[in-house]
Amino acid sequence: MVEAVVFNKEQNRLELLDQTLLPVETRTVFCSTEHDTAKAIVSMQVRGAPAIGVAAAYGIVLGLNNPQNHARPFLEAFKAICDLLAATRPTAVNLFWAIARIKKAVKNAGCTDFSGAATVALPEADKIRAEDIEMCRSIGRFGASLLQSGDTWLTHCNAGALATAGYGTALGVFRAAQEEGKNFKVFVDETRPLLQGARLTAWELMQEKIDATLICDNMAGSLIRDGKVQGVVVGADRITAHGFVANKIGTYPLAVLAKYNGVPFYVAAPDSTFDLTIKYGEEIKIEERDHDEVRYIGGQQIAPKDIKVYNPAFDVTPPELITAIITNKGIIRPIYRDTIPEFIKPERFEAAE
């Protein structure tokens, strides 16, 4: 199983599998400072809500160990490090959850200097990473109970080991089902504009020898209509207290297609992806990315270079379109405003001041 986020303690650096180059090239990005880490998150060399949370936690450790910060007062520098990483991407709540975990650990330990804070932050970051892997394995086990031998499911974007500390959320369902000996097939949406499905999910499933077929995004509807898909499972970047789900752009129309054609639509996510401080989809800030991501594919221009572009990275799927949310705590079913609190406890989201 691939590891996208690794902290090398001997070298005091974060090692990231560069996801902008896969599947053509496998290259490691070395981050020695919080600035390197922030750049890797913004550029999507590391991506996926859980993975960027883990990367940010280690980025804080790098910032605390960065001598350039030591000329400033500790609390001022610590806040600046956390703020830098929090400003990288606005939609995925795991990022803010992980930063809050580190801040809380440092505060509770009464740290007043860089060395002491780093000593506390590193094991907390390790804990976040280890917890994420275990959460994904639990998600996989719960999700595999919904997938039957002979099924063909569809997934969108990449919610695998590359998007997490390991194992994956949506792809964790397939990994667990395979481990149980089930025979099934997977359709993989290419996921424009950055092709995370074509480049990353297809690569991951082939590495695991899972029977996968790549399709263009606009082919999904006809496959679902023709009865060739028995289930859809996607990841998530933020889930509200009432069950609105922000995920990669293109998720919402898949949910509509699935609902119209009577196909179950599942969301797979750890409890760190829930944001109980908000209720509705319009409260989620949607990141809009560089317009050239649409005008170019792999550096090749495919549209007039001056054409206006709209490029939101995510859309929001309302709860009435979601059959169930597969979490590490169990399978949550509607009505979500009533059932989410039974599984996800608010203390997970207490941030340090």
Q: Say if CB 232 and CB 151 are below 8 A apart.
A: no
Q: Say if CB 11 and CB 170 are below 8 A apart.
A: no
Residue 201 tokens read as 């999910």
In angstroms, the CA 140 to CA 145 distance is 9
Annotated catalytic, 18? no
CB burial string 71-88: b at 16+ within 10 A, e below: eeebeebbeebbebbbeb
In angstroms, the CA 143 to CA 179 distance is 12
CB burial string 245-272: b at 16+ within 10 A, e below: bbbbbbbbbbbebbbeeebbbbbbbbbb
132, 189, 217, 237: the catalytic one is 237
Bridge partner list, 30: 15
Active-site annotation, residues: 237
